[in-house]
Every structure is written in structure tokens, then in C-alpha cells.
A and B are shown apart, each in its own frame.
Chain A
Amino acid sequence: MTEHREFLTRRLHSLLGVLPIGVFLIQHLVVNHFAVYGEENFNKAADFMHNLPFRTLLEIVVIFLPILFHAILGVYIVFVARNNTRNYGFFRNWMFLLQRVTGIITFVFIVWHVWETRIQLWSEGADYSLMEGILSNPFMFWFYIVGVLSTIFHFANGLWSFCVTWGITQTPKSQKVVTYATLIVFLALSYVGVRTLITFAYGV
């Protein structure tokens, strides 16, 4: 087993990106979308999530540890690549570069986001007015737009490479179909996320 450590850590990296991180991301975007249905609805949902049984354990095992592992190994993966889109400007090579760029942006965004809306509050939960306060600042609004879109792109494009890494899509045709499928995932989740941010920032 030990001689396959690199193989196993890379496979774990790929798996964690979808399970549980990807599933958590979808859940997080959907629950936050309650904001669009009104402040009271959002606070009720946030309260429900905050008061889940075993919340701290769930946060550590399902969210913090997987993201930490994925992020640290991910930064290493970014730095061992020698990007060459200038000479080899193929679509997938651009996606390869964007996956690394959005990975770093997402990393910075998540560190800030977790600090601001989770660690700083600690035992209290986040509520509508907190997010309204953050996002009514135009700089933070755009920071969140970039952060959310880059996270969703990283997830959607990551789904595509997940399918290759796990040997699900082998033929060029199946890989192409999944490219379109992940594009739909990107657009759909982007709507869910950006719509929420607009509500927090502008109350509409």
C-alpha cells in the first residue's frame, strides 16, 4: 500500500471534491437561497442548520477536514504544473488552467468567508442582517460574486475530471457530453448563488 501513497492521495483528492465537498456546496447554495424568499425564511433555515444535532462534529468531518485536505494538496498540484496555453491553446488546456486559477481564488475566498461568517461568530449562527451588512458594501459584493462563481466553476469542471479520473467517461464522445452537462451544472448553480447575493446586497 505504501508504495501507492501518491496514487491513493490523488484519488482521495478527486473523491473528496465531489463527496462530500460538492454535495455540501449544493446544499449550502440551496439553503442560502431561502434569502430570496425573505429574511424570516432565511433566518429560520440558518437556525435549522445551526442547531442540527452533532453540528460541530458534522462541520469538522463533512466540511472542514475534507476542504483542508483538498485545498492543501490542491495548492501543491497548482504549483507543479507548467501552464502552456500560449503555445497549446486547446479548450481543455484552458479548462486545466482555469481549474487551477479558480482553485486558488476559491481557496482565498473560502478562508475569508469561513473566518467572517463562521469562526468570528463561533457559537452564534450567521443571520440575514450579517450577510446584508457584508454584501451591501460594493467591494465585498463583487468579492463574493467572484468567489462564488469561481467556486461553482471549480466544482462543475471538477465534476468533469472526476468522471475521467474514476474511469467513468472514456470515449471522446462521452467526455464531450459531460462537458455540456457540467456547463449546465455551472449555469444552474451560478443562478442559485448569484440570485442570493443580489438579494442580500440590494434587497430584491
Chain B
Amino acid sequence: MAENKTVTFIITRQDGSDSAPYQETFKIPYRPNMNVISALMEIRKNPVNANGEKTTPVQWDMNCLEEVCGACSMVINGVARQSCAALVDKLDQPIRLEPMSTFPVVRDLIVDRERMFDALKQVKAWIPIDGTHDLGPGPRMPEKKRQWAYELSKCMTCGVCLEACPNVNDKSNFIGPAAISQARLFNAHPTGAMNASERLNGLMEDGGIDGCGNSQNCVQVCPKGIPLTTSIAAMNRATNIQAFKNFFGSDSAL
């Protein structure tokens, strides 16, 4: 009997970026310890929907398959998460898969997360070290601080925090929690701190940190457990101080 068990998937599909979304149901043979990706691979092997009609295989994005790359984010039973870490045994059936609605859909479950990379550019989430000559080794970072910063560096730009945020949508220009936390990470770095005010001014641009409405969904859904709301509050404090320095003047404003 167990061999005949099936798993039902209702997948929101879209043939291209401009075409209309539609739902398609699939019944696939159950195997123990399946995850959503192995189920999608099963559909790819035999692209026949629940009505027995032959269809195109469902497209999705994936890479590492161990929840460190951030590519396979999708909305599973209403909640955004990594599909590689979503075990079929732990999900209510039928399992509903949708692309993350915050991002433009490329095809089926594949979305374009470019806005997240634009957000990283807005807050200058990198450390400029290029020069015309060897700048030598940078300042040392205390080990305790390194361990703390490592937690923030786990961000994989997966977009789950943006999808869960009620203020990231097509009506608002809010960049979302991920980039705010990255600005904090690079400002904490001893070399990165040299450009701290540039990142803070980036956070104060339109669509920046002021778009946060404190729903705190981001910290609840982050697959890496990054303290996003602590980062937002810390950057709130830092941007406020920066705003005062900008207005009243300070030698450390630059």
C-alpha cells in the first residue's frame, strides 16, 4: 500500500514574465524524506499533471541544496521559505507552491531578485579596498566581535524577509530588512567603518530604513536566524545620529 501513496502539489505557474499566472495540480509518488525540490525533480522527470495531461516541466531556481545559497526561495503553503529545507513529511497536503509575489516572476517559481542587489548598492554593502598601491593589512577585529558579525554575514539574499514584510510591495519603495542588516555588518567591520557614514546616508535615501513599520515578520521567517530587527533598530539609532551630524555639522559626519 505504501508504494502507491502520492503527494499532491498545487503549483502557481506562469509561462513568462508577461503572461498570466495559472494553477496546475500534480500527484507524484511519495518517497520517504522527500523535500519540495526532490518532488519538483519528480515532476521534471514525468511532466504529467493530475488530470493525466502532458505539460511542461515546472521551472524553479536552486543551487546549493543545503540552505546556504538563497536561490530556492518560494512561497510554500502561504509562507516564504527555502524549498530545499521544506520536508514533505512536515507539510500539510495538498502542498501549495507559489513564486514570491514581492519579486517579478521570470517563469513558474523563478523570480528575479535584482532589487535586493540594487538595495545593497544603495547602502554600499561592501568594503572598498582597491587602491593604486598595496594598502597593507587592515586593522584587526576583536574575536568576540567577529563571531557576532559572522551571524549577520550569513545573509544569503534569499528574499524571504522581503516577501514576509508587509511594507515591501509594489506600492512602496522600501528596500527591505536584508540590506539594512548588511549595512550594519559592514559598518561593524574595522575597515568598513571608514565608510560608515556613506552607508548610513544610503539608508536615509528614499526607500531606505524609514520604510520599516516594525511588523517584525522578517526576524521570524529568516532561514538563517539573523537578528534583523535588532539590526534595524541599531541602524535607526545610527541614522538618527548621522542626520543630526549632517544638519548641525560634525567633523565625524563624513
Which positions in A face B, CB cutoff 8 Å? Answer: 1, 3-8, 10-11, 77, 79-84, 86-88, 90, 92-93, 95-97, 99, 160-161, 164-172, 175
Contact = CB atoms under 8 A, between A and B. Distances in A.
Contact of B237 (A96, A170, A175): A170
Q: Which 6 A-B pairs have the closest CB atoms?
A: A167-B237, A96-B215, A10-B210, A92-B216, A87-B78, A170-B233
Nearest to A5: B206
Contacts of B49: none
Interface stretch (B125-133, B151-159, B188-196, B239-247): B239-247
A79 B167 CA distance: 10
B208 A164 contact: no
Interface stretch (B4-12, B18-26, B224-232): B224-232
22 contacts: A1-B247, A3-B206, A5-B206, A6-B206, A7-B204, A7-B205, A7-B206, A7-B208, A7-B209, A10-B210, A82-B167, A82-B171, A83-B166, A84-B164, A95-B215, A161-B214, A164-B236, A165-B214, A166-B237, A167-B241, A172-B230, A175-B229
Given A11-B240, A167-B236, A172-B229, A86 B78 contact: yes
Contact of B216 (A5, A90, A168): A90
B128 to A, nearest CB: 21
Contacts of B213: 77, 81, 96, 99, 161
Interface string B179-219: 00000000000000000000001001111111111111100
* Overall SS of chain B's interface: helix
Contacts of B206: 3, 5-7
Nearest to B247: A1
Contacts of A172: 227, 229-230
Contact of A170 (B164, B172, B234): B234
Contacts of B241: 167
Contacts, number: 111
A99 B167 CA distance: 14
A11 B210 contact: yes
B69 interface: no
Given A7-B209, A81-B167, A90 B220 contact: yes
B246 A1 contact: yes
Contacts of B79: 87-88
Contacts of A5: 206
B243 A7 contact: yes
Contacts of B167: 80-82
A5 B205 CA distance: 8
A25 to B, nearest CB: 20
Nearest to B101: A82
Nearest to A163: B233
Contacts of B237: 166-168, 170
Contacts of B227: 172
A165 B239 CA distance: 10
Nearest to B210: A10
Contacts of A169: 233
Nearest to B77: A87
A172 to B, nearest CB: 7
B214 A96 contact: yes
A80 B171 contact: yes
B164 A88 contact: yes
Contacts of A99: 213
A166 B239 CA distance: 9
A83 B239 CA distance: 27
B238 interface: yes
A167 B212 CA distance: 13
